[in-house]
Structure 1
Amino acid sequence: MSDNTGFSALHGAQWLGNQRSRFSLWAPDATHVSVVLDERIHPLHPVAEGWFSAELACLPGTPYRFRVDDEYEVPDPASRAQSGDVHDDSLVIDHASYAWRTQGWHGRPWHECVLYEVHAGLLGGFRGIEDRLPALVELGVTALELMPLNDFPGERNWGYDGVLPFAPDSSYGTPDELKHLIDSAHRLGLMVFVDVVYNHFGPDGNYLGRYAKGFFRHDIQTPWGDAIDFRRRAVRDFFLQNAFMWLRDYRVDGLRLDAVHAISEKDFLVELAQQVRSEFGGERHVHLVLENEHNDAGLLEVGFDAQWNDDGHNVLHALLTGEREAYYSDFVDHATDKLAVCLSEGFIYQGQPNRRGETRGQPSAHLPPTSFVLFLQNHDQTGNRAFGERLIALADPDALRAATTLLLLSPMIPLLFMGEEWGSREPFLFFTDHHDELADAVRDGRRNEFADFEVFADETKRERIPDPNAERTFQASRPDFARYSKDAEHAAWNDFYRQLLALRHGRIVPYLPGCRPLGADVLADSAVSARWRLGDGRVLSIEVNLSAAPCALSGERHATPLFISRNDALLDYRQGRLSPRVAVVNLEDHHE
């Protein structure tokens, strides 16, 4: 049961105007709490249900920290910005002070999304990303997805070790610089999504357990330790207010919720979606996307737009690379049949047992194709490899072009990972900036993750895995866009992506509302044919062969397909054969 007593407060420091700010901390295990301003101690008043609060004279930009029971001082867990790193003073922020330049922006509908995932640090922070925006618009991207921005310890991190979820990390830029990035994106017609982490806090800089033990529940463990206790109203409000901050104060267009399978109270997710829809429903387009290993299709019927389709990635990766270890082993057997299920029904696992004998997933065939975000690469699937190899280093290039055609012209919502559109070969490695014993634990833990892989069974081979804490690991992961644009091979990949996205926006996107699958058939090993009826009644079909052998086609062939991933395969196609490593896309002009 939730401890919802009706009392609610805004976490953190709220600028009230007239040189006043209100400071509030939920500290149910504390006897008394003060706020330290300019080295002067100001007591907060106990209010109710573990809350301490007071209104004080204080201007935006003022550094502060909380003093608990006169024993220790901590940053604000709901800090809107930090003066330095996660252990330093928090800053009072006036979110209303930014002068937005883009007026009348209402976002874009979900079916127009082409997502592009980026890591802010690798692209030079908020200003560096802003410099890339025109190129993304020219490519055909419509939505920028920022990996987690929440303040993390040190200068380098994926963002999933964050401990201050309201504060953009200072190494990326200031809150106003983030707003300027979002403002500029909107002026160019780009949506902006932020990846938020509501399932855990990082191991360094989280003090909540000292004065608010009830923030966590010790009876449920996640991969990161004690689960967050969403049964408590103050805890729920902490994350609800965080979501509202991104959507209201930063005007982002959507949130991607990381690993919600690690949130035990699913009704919190329902409440979040309901409140977001209630507050931002109007004319504004606001989108909510899940990462959920459990394939919980029910959440896609209660206010969430879509889920990352890991099943789709995993089966395509297995077909492209032949890799069989770890979670790919769930997708190797009958892989072609599994791909057909993915294209016609969304999830592959809809209640079947996985390699561990655990049932996974719920039926999803009733959901529209746009309920699924499809990708060939992302931060997880690339960065969680020991050496962070991009798919271009693992797959045949013609097969990769065929799979990319499927990605960008299927009715699912496509997601690209930074640099993919240029055929980037720079790895994306796992990197952090921890020190001392924690650095050793993270490095050793990272290497031990791969102990079950045959190639790393020997401990000496695991020692070759890059140290996450070394700066060179971070630097090696930077996409080199300046070099790509001068290289013919990279430029050819970029032209390929641009051509596909132009077709998507011109011939497919306008007709995605009302789209429904018509089924998918196995043509041969690693070859499938899938069909969808678009909203205007026309039929979109994609035939893809990822194998090294041709296969026969049945039925009448179109003289000129909408798109073919290899021009030299057109003659075979007209003669009823699907060449090796090719994808062919057709769009019926007549209504069936």
Structure 2
Amino acid sequence: MGAIPYDGGVAFRVWAPFASSVCVGGTFNSWSTTANALESENNGYWSGDIPEAKLDDRYRYVISGSFISGVQWRTDPYSKHVEDNNEGNGVIVADNFAWNSNIFNMPTWNELVIYELHVASFNRSSQTPGDFSSIISKLNDLKNLGVNAIQLMPIFGFPGDFSLGYNPALPFDIESNYGTPKSFKEFIQTAHDQGFAIILDVVYNHFGPDDLDTSLWRFDGWNENGRGGIYFYNDNRRAFTPFGDRPDFGRGEVRQYIRDNVLMWLEEYRIDGFRFDSTVNIRNIFGNNNDPSNDIPEGWSLMQWINNEINGRMPWKITIAEDLQNNDYITRSTGAGGAGFDSQWGSLFYSALFDAVVPPNDSSRNMDRLRDAILQRFETDGLKRVIYSENHDEVAEINRKVRLPDAIWRGNADSWFARKRSTLAAALVFTSPGIPMIFMGQEFLEWGSWSDRGSLDWNKKDRFSGIWDLYQALIRLRRNWFNNTRGLRGQNVNVHHVNNSDKMLAFHRWENGGPGDDVIVVANFADRNYDSYTIGFPKGGTWFVRFNSDWNGFSPDFGNKAGYDTTAGQPGTHGMPFSGNIGIGPYSVLILSQ
């Protein structure tokens, strides 16, 4: 589909079932409306060869038909590069990138630590939006931080210079401000060479609302009820999306279009996985679980088909759903009736953690709810959820939200309270079962509201270097960097101590158990110190403090309350066979192992 270069010309193929003629106008024929007519395949598709067309030429389809007055110009839905202008000219490109011989091995999912970023605002120069090369310049920083997967917010083309990315009109196109197909491949190659997996945020629950008039909207003129035509639902299934227009997931050619897009990113660009935006709006008219009569069965089957395709071709590639309805069937296998995603965003964990650190009064913190959030999982697999204390939605200016340190104390995000409680939340993200994710800038205490027009303040990396060190330490422990916290990568968790009066929590993490594997996490959600607090341990002997978030090396005003190594012995407590004493500072976390 689209423009396919070959030696001696370019082949074009497009779907326009209600057209009476389709021509290709471009720089190769002075934008003629009649010079290069495609032939009908008598199945809704039109195709033909144009010998005079070549790489880098601009083009659009010229469509006429009974639903069109005169002719209309349309951008190729399969165009991989569209000029950033009002016309939407496609550019003829070839998949001829010279990948190097290095073989990238996707990290195992219990090893993944995801860093979500927005290309334009991650590393902006003055008022120039960031691009793929600006990310490359920071890869060494991210590597030193310890993350090993970069989740890019959508990179589809959009009108103007600024966008969150969730307004796709042409999902095969890359935003020209960010780069070209070639520069995106160069970014992926460089990221792979440095050990990063690349996860792409894709938007299939809606197209638009911007730029549809020159592309998919009433592509060949036909529509019903004044709606969008062949690429969209033309009934009430279209009307209730809160963003743009919902594609017709029941029309074979539209299903193929979305499936082809998925495979292009995987095969041509060699990305390593996807985050699917708002899957609930693919599977339900109103975007919720409340009434099954409003389900969209063909949306569900489309997700199953795509996940089956990926699993059949590249089972090591990860697919993550943003469903936010805490539905087990999203991550259940397709053979068991599920949608087949490998993981999904854990909104229950986020909300419980947010409510445990944001209220100003310690009495408002609910340790029972937090315990349930740590234990919550989909089916029996802790890795079927992605957990976080910030994401782009929860900190976005457009949603009237702010970064976690600002949510803790508005206007005083650099205060002791904001730093202590936001890092307390971070420690829970990296020690609870799930795939941990941070949003860009958390690692150096970025505050305020995030905006696509803004930029990270990279000066904070030096100003709050201790916070950076704290995140680095947590990530290394989560990845078992020193081979003494293997349990943080394991499936098993036992929240064995919940003190809702004093706001203390302790849990045991393990993979197989034993020295270097068993991990005890103790979290103090109150503004008080403990010189000696007794908790349960699964084994006797010496337990060493691997992390103490109250260490004054992370910030000079942290209390440096001694989180001393301890010896566990009998009798046991809190349902554990052994017990030991720990010291812990306010709003602090200890990580201990043998």
Provide the TM-score with structure 2 as the length reference. 0.78
Match of 1:167 in 2: 173
Is 1:312–2:349 an aligned residue pair?
A: yes
What secondary structure sits across from 1:312 in the alignment?
helix
Determine the structure 2 residue equivalent to 1:440: none
Q: Which residue of 2 aligns with 1:522?
A: 498
Q: Select 2:522's aligned residue among 543, 553, 556.
A: 543
How far is the alpha carbon of 1:149 from its aligned partner? 0.3
CA contact (8 A) 1:29 1:211 kept: no
1:369 equivalent in alignment to 2:386: no
8 Å contact from structure 2 (residues 393, 399) kept in 1: no
- Indicate whether 1:82 and 2:86 are aligned: no
1:495 and 2:469 aligned = yes
Cα distance change on mapping 1:571 and 1:180 into 2, 3 Å: closer
Return the offset for 1:156.
0.6
Q: 1:478 to 1:24 in 2, by over 3 A?
A: same
Residue in structure 2 matched with residue 428 of structure 1 by the alignment: 450
| d(CA) in 2 for partners of 1:85, 1:530 | 56
Among 223, 231, 250, the residue aligned to 2:250: 231
- Residue 462 of structure 1 is matched in structure 2 by none
Distance 2:262 2:586 in 1: 47
What amino acid maps onto 1:44 in structure 2?
Answer: L
Gaps in structure 1 of 5+ consecutive residues: 1-9, 325-331, 347-363, 432-473
Q: % of aligned pairs identical?
A: 26
Residue aligning to 1:570: 562
Distance 1:116 1:513, change over 3 A: closer
- What is the SS of the residue equivalent to 1:186? helix
The residue aligned with 1:192 is 198
**Residue 554 of structure 2: aligned partner:** none
Query: Would you say the 8 A contact 2:11–2:50 is kept in 1?
Result: yes
Query: Aligned in 2, Cα 1:311/1:187: closer, same or farther, shift over 3 Å?
Result: same
Q: Which moved more, 1:117-126 or 1:220-229?
A: 220-229
TM-superposed deviation, 1:314:
1.5
Of the three residues 360, 367, 372, the one matched with 1:336 is 367
Q: Structure 1 residues 111-120 or 200-209, which shifts more?
A: 200-209
User: What residue in structure 2 maps to residue 7 of structure 1?
Assistant: none
- Taking the TM superposition and a 5 Å limit, the aligned residue runs for 1:243-322 are 243-264=262-283, 265-281=299-315, 285-302=316-333, 303-322=340-359
Q: Who is 2:158 aligned against?
A: 152
Give deviations 1:201-259, integer Å, cap 9, x for gaps: 12221142313613222222221254222111111111111111111111111111111
Q: Root-mean-square deviation (CA), in Å?
A: 2.6
CA contact (8 A) 1:75 1:86 kept: no
Distance 2:61 2:485 in 1: 51
| 8 A Cα contact 1:344 1:530, kept in partner | no
Structure 1 residues 295 and 54: alpha-carbon distance in aligned structure 2, compared to 1, 3 A threshold: farther
Check the 8 A contact 1:553/1:577 in 2, yes or no. Answer: no
Q: 1:373 and 1:307 mapped to 2: Cα distance?
A: 6
Amino acid at match of 1:570: A
Query: Which residue in the other structure is 1:62 paired with?
Result: 57
522 and 550 in structure 1: CA distance in 2 versus 1, 3 angstrom threshold: farther
Q: Name the SS of the counterpart of 1:77 in structure 2.
A: coil
SS state at 1:208 partner: coil
What displacement does 1:338 show?
2.3
* Partner SS for 2:167: coil
In the aligned structure 2, how far is the partner of 1:62 from the partner of 1:333? 63
Q: Give yes or no for contact 1:343–1:520 (8 Å, CA) kept in 2.
A: no
> CA–CA distance in 2 between the matches of 1:398 and 1:480?
20
Q: Distance in 1 between matches of 2:436 and 2:136?
A: 22
1:83, distance to aligned residue in structure 2 (A): 2.3
How far residue 294 of structure 1 moved from its aligned partner, in angstroms, is 2.0
Kindly provide the amino acid, as one letter, of the partner of residue 350 in structure 2. Answer: H
Q: Is the 8 A contact 1:378 1:416 kept in 2?
A: yes
Greater relative CO (CA pairs within 8 A, separation 6+): 1
8 A Cα contact 1:512 1:535, kept in partner: no
Is the alpha carbon distance of 1:530 and 1:50 closer, same or farther for their aligned partners in structure 2, counting shifts above 3 Å? farther
Shift of 1:550: 6.1
CA contact (8 A) 2:488 2:519 kept: no
Provide closer, same or farther for how the CA distance between residues 514 and 410 of structure 1 changes in structure 2, counting only shifts above 3 A: closer
**Residue 63 (structure 1) shift:** 0.8
Indicate how the Cα distance of structure 1 residues 555 and 211 shifts in structure 2: closer, same or farther if over 3 A, else same.
closer
Amino acid at match of 1:216: F
What is the identity, as a one-letter code, of the residue corresponding to 1:411? Answer: P
Task: Give 1:553 deviation, angstroms.
Answer: 4.3
- CA deviation profile, 1:523-560 (whole Å, cap 9, x unmatched): 22554323333145643332222233568644359653
Q: Distance in 2 between matches of 1:24 and 1:86?
A: 23
- Deviations 1:280-303 (Å, cap 9, x if unpaired)? 24xxx3111111122222231324
Offset of residue 166 of structure 1 = 0.8
Question: Does structure 2 conserve the Cα–Cα contact (< 8 Å) formed by 1:422 and 1:493?
Answer: yes
Q: 1: distance between equivalents of 2:131 and 2:154? A: 12
Partner of 2:4: 14
What does residue 119 of structure 2 align with?
Answer: 120
Q: Which amino acid aligns with 2:536?
A: G
Q: Distance in 2 between matches of 1:191 and 1:569?
A: 38
Pick the structure with more helix per residue.
1
Aligned-pair CA distance for 1:310: 1.7
Provide the rounded CA distance (Å) in 2 between the counterparts of 1:333 and 1:232. 51
Task: Identify the residue that residue 355 of structure 1 maps to in structure 2.
Answer: none
CA distance in 1, matches of 2:42, 2:508: 58
- Alignment check: 8 A CA contact 2:111 2:489 kept: no
Is this contact kept in 1: 2:205–2:277, CA < 8 A?
yes
Structure having the higher Rg: 2
Q: 1:513 to 1:315 in 2, by over 3 A?
A: closer
- In structure 2, C-alpha distance between the alignment counterparts of 1:406 and 1:319, rounded to whole Å: 11
Asked if 1:208 corresponds to 2:197, the answer is: no
Structure 1 residue 496, shift from structure 2 partner: 1.1
CA distance change for structure 1 residues 162 and 227 in 2, over 3 Å: closer, same or farther? Answer: closer
Number of aligned residues: 500
- Residues 1:408 and 1:555: Cα distance change in structure 2 (over 3 Å): closer
The residue that corresponds to 1:35 in the other structure is 24
